[in-house]
Structure 1
Amino acid sequence: MSLKQFKVPLLLLIIGIILTIIGALFKIQHKPNGSLLLTAGTFVEFCAIFLGIIKLIKVARQ
């Protein structure tokens, strides 16, 4: 098992974490679109975790 196989899920996870942190900061400062950024970040994190689990299952079956 190589980490190169998990490059896309890890990249998506990092992007999702960044979006979530920025969204939380926007919410704290009462700036517009904070909720949108939080929602988008959480959705991207979910997609990354889902893709990572699928990759793990594919690797385990080989």
Structure 2
Amino acid sequence: MSELDWQKSSFSGDDANCVEVRTEAGLVELRESDDGDVILHTTPAAFADLLGTIKAGKLDHHA
């Protein structure tokens, strides 16, 4: 697995603290850039649901 596979959010700019994402073996993997050893694995469908929920503002009350 290459570090080049990880993509950083375009909203994070030059900030080192951001969420990074990649696909690996049919799964979506997520990690926080400042703790790259901890990787969350999920399915593409679950990740799409999460993104839809975020975009709809349904988690804004947690911010």
TM-score using structure 1 length: 0.33
More strand by share: 2
Q: Flag the structure with larger Rg.
A: 1
Bigger relative contact order (CA 8 A; separation at least 6): 1
More helix by share: 1
